[in-house]
Chains A and B, each alone.
Chain A
């Protein structure tokens, strides 16, 4: 329903994101300088690491896959006014349930059946893990922020207990057995880690975009997020929707876990998420909760990571500099709209600013 006249907003948003990224890179140059390295050659090594070789691009896509899918879930949650900080836990639940499907179905089951069942298991368990936080919020007014973070630990230690116990593969390493070769996702580009999962990610992005663009379900979710009181007046059962919204967010993260297990790791072990949940939150924020922009944002962030690896090898700059860049991007995205508004109103009011203009409401994703 957002047609013309919204274009200005879109441009504004794009400009903010671009400036934030530029500013983040500029500031991070100081840190690189402090390490005694020429920042420009560090950045050159970075971009060469991504764009200079097929492997770099492929790796970027592979790493972006789980981020896209978790980020889409977070987009749904945030549009519904809820913060999902439990991406990692839900991812673990999806990974764990889907590997069980792959390991325990009788040998020789058709791969298609395994994939479908694994996918459903991941959706179910992820949705349960997310929906639980939604249910507790609806029922007992507990903060979904705290609950989702705490459930991350529950899932992490559950995985730890299982890969050290019931599900441990022979050999003493804390990990599960590997999936049968037949069940592993096909590689889209042989010799790289790009697998069929990216297609799932792209299809989901399209579906989430349609959800908010076209469906009454999306309309309701958004209404709950915009104004719970108006939603209630509008006949929407807000409490039920809190469960649905968190369930959808959890389902997405669960799918990401399944996709990673069947496409990249072929087994479950501790530490397979590496903080994807929080990175995806950052991406959803960067993408201003636009599902299609989540895809771009994920590619961008994972390119940074891939490039940082190359930079570390060639220039001896630690990869953690990427974390600095990521944090700075968010930092600038939060403050730039405020600075712009102040400057605009200064110009208009000739300094008369007794009442500060409110910052762009969309910049607060974590509530």
Chain B
């Protein structure tokens, strides 16, 4: 269906002669690392970008798709990674947005509602037409997005990284919907960089690397290892080498009954307690938005703590200024590396001294010490293998992986006692993920206490010595050693308790 598509941005080709054929009735996975050109290709198909060369053939006819309107009229619908819903509107209002009334002034809500419910029943979507979007969970919002596309008669549905925000049960539900949709003769393009999911849901898979086709295969003929090799271009080691944690080191962080108000009026941390020892990685798993961000902010002085106790090495750090938290040796790798972790118009040097501009390594008596800053940055660039196009260009020119390395270099090298890492590998490619994990483990070996907040279960499984699963501002459970399994975490994420733990630690 897509032939020889080329898309050039400046000097680089985001898509270089890419082919993609999707048959009716199949779920076709589009697999590739970040920057492989998946999203570019789909944005071309959806009319958001104009291709530099090549054709799109749809149902045997060559078509020019120059706007999403055109794509929709052809029956191509897309569910973006970031939802395009209006929170203040009701579900049905969002679904008919752009088609409302079809030229008539009045919308017949009864007919609309009926049509929505029919679609929902047909593809086992969970839709309440009258629910306001702002009251829905992320998983339900995604269902609305899908319903929106189907309402417009989409026969080819594109989903861009749809599972990142879902709990395991929600994911299962989504896959069920996609399967029944494909079985009724429609097609799905499923964009992902997660191998497990691709193996589970797709009939065929096309792998992109560096903007080029690598392979198109029947999923049944593939396995995870083979796909990974196609995607990355080399063998990938899935396991992380790590010694088990002895558990006899001194306690670094102790949090007791922490209550923190969220952005809404209801408190978003409703009393969590835990400790971290030197050289231990404590993982916080859970679906985003269950209080993880608030926890990190509360520990670093960025958010006011209402109740509870936070001790770092026995010293109270509750509600002290962010500056003093930094000075006591708490490092933070923030969730948003582009607009919080770094300043995009600053050079690497300027970003390296962020949070540390008063330290002797950066300044003396309020005057910046350029020579020292440059020397230190040079060292870090070497140690962390930071690749840049220009030493004194703004960091907005760096790739996501290299940007994260700048943050890691700054935070880890600060001789921190506690390192809080929020989603440290989100959106990074396999190589960068390996690097970040290695550096985190290195910090652990040096005796840093680590708090790893992540929604990537694989990451938690690979790194954490102990795991807390967060759900609705509380810890749904604690897992240690052999208990740390995908199944256990998944169950706790979904709000269930572990049978084995019910009496014991469920409320820890």
Name the residue of chain B whose CB is nearest to the CB of A4. B392
Beta-carbon contact of A3 and B343 below 8 Å:
no
Instruction: List A residues 337-358 near B (Cβ within 8 Å).
Output: 348-350, 352-355
Contact status of A230 and B49, CB under 8 A, knowing A2-B392, A216-B363: no
Cα A234 to Cα B341 in complex, Å, equals 8
Q: Is A265 an interface residue (CB 8 A)?
A: no
Cα A349 to Cα B52 in complex, Å, equals 7
Residues in A with CB closer than 8 Å to B332 are 233
Instruction: List A residues 179-238 near B (Cβ within 8 Å).
Output: 214-217, 219-220, 223, 226-227, 229-230, 232-237
Name the residue of chain B whose CB is nearest to the CB of A236. B323
Interface centre among A1, A3, A361 (most CB of B within 10 A): A1
Instruction: List B residues 1-44 near A (Cβ within 8 Å).
Output: 7-11
Interchain pairs with CB closer than 8 A, number = 96
Beta-carbon contact of A226 and B355 below 8 Å:
no
Beta-carbon contact of B339 and A227 below 8 Å:
yes
Interface residue stretch chosen among B175-183, B247-255, B346-354: B346-354
Beta-carbon contact of A361 and B345 below 8 Å:
yes
Beta-carbon contact of A229 and B321 below 8 Å:
no
**Contact among A5, A214, A237 for B323, CB-based, below 8 A:** A237
Cα A142 to Cα B248 in complex, Å, equals 53
Q: Is A53 an interface residue (CB 8 A)?
A: no
Beta-carbon contact of A232 and B322 below 8 Å:
yes
Interface residue stretch chosen among B85-93, B143-151, B365-373: B365-373
**Contact among B321, B357, B368 for A237, CB-based, below 8 A:** B321
Beta-carbon contact of A234 and B49 below 8 Å:
no
Beta-carbon contact of A227 and B366 below 8 Å:
no
Beta-carbon contact of A233 and B366 below 8 Å:
no
Instruction: List B residues 343-398 near A (Cβ within 8 Å).
Output: 343-347, 349-350, 353-355, 357-358, 362-363, 366-368, 370, 373, 390-393
Contact status of A354 and B326, CB under 8 A, knowing A5-B393, A233-B341: no
Residues in A with CB closer than 8 Å to B390 are 5
Q: Is B401 an interface residue (CB 8 A)?
A: no
- Give min CB distance, A8 to chain B, whole Å: 10
For chain B, the bracket of interface size reads 35 or more
Name the residue of chain B whose CB is nearest to the CB of A229. B340
Residues in B with CB closer than 8 Å to A348 are 8, 10-11
- Give min CB distance, B388 to chain A, whole Å: 11
- Give min CB distance, A307 to chain B, whole Å: 37
Cα A366 to Cα B293 in complex, Å, equals 33
- Give min CB distance, A157 to chain B, whole Å: 40
Interface size on A, residues (CB 8 A): 31
Residues in B with CB closer than 8 Å to A349 are 8-9, 52
Cα A223 to Cα B393 in complex, Å, equals 16
Residues in B with CB closer than 8 Å to A219 are 350, 353, 357, 368
Beta-carbon contact of A215 and B302 below 8 Å:
no
- Give min CB distance, B346 to chain A, whole Å: 7
Q: Is B50 an interface residue (CB 8 A)?
A: yes
**Contact among A230, A234, A354 for B50, CB-based, below 8 A:** A354
Beta-carbon contact of B51 and A352 below 8 Å:
yes
Cα A232 to Cα B367 in complex, Å, equals 21
Beta-carbon contact of A230 and B48 below 8 Å:
no
- Give min CB distance, B245 to chain A, whole Å: 29
Beta-carbon contact of B392 and A216 below 8 Å:
no
- Give min CB distance, A78 to chain B, whole Å: 14
Beta-carbon contact of B368 and A215 below 8 Å:
yes
Q: Is B206 an interface residue (CB 8 A)?
A: no
- Give min CB distance, A236 to chain B, whole Å: 8
Chain B residues close to A by CB (< 8 Å): 7-11, 48-52, 302, 321-323, 325-326, 332, 334, 336, 339-347, 349-350, 353-355, 357-358, 362-363, 366-368, 370, 373, 390-393
- A214-B368, A216-B363, A349-B9 known; 5 new pairs, CB 8 Å cut-off, are A216-B362, A219-B368, A237-B322, A237-B323, A352-B50
Q: List 24 A-B contacts (CB under 8 A).
A: A1-B349, A3-B392, A5-B392, A214-B368, A215-B367, A219-B350, A219-B368, A226-B343, A226-B344, A226-B346, A229-B339, A230-B339, A230-B341, A230-B354, A233-B302, A233-B354, A235-B326, A237-B321, A237-B323, A349-B8, A350-B52, A352-B7, A352-B49, A354-B50
The 3 closest A-B pairs by CB, nearest first: A235-B323, A352-B50, A235-B322
Chain A residues close to B by CB (< 8 Å): 1-6, 214-217, 219-220, 223, 226-227, 229-230, 232-237, 348-350, 352-355, 361
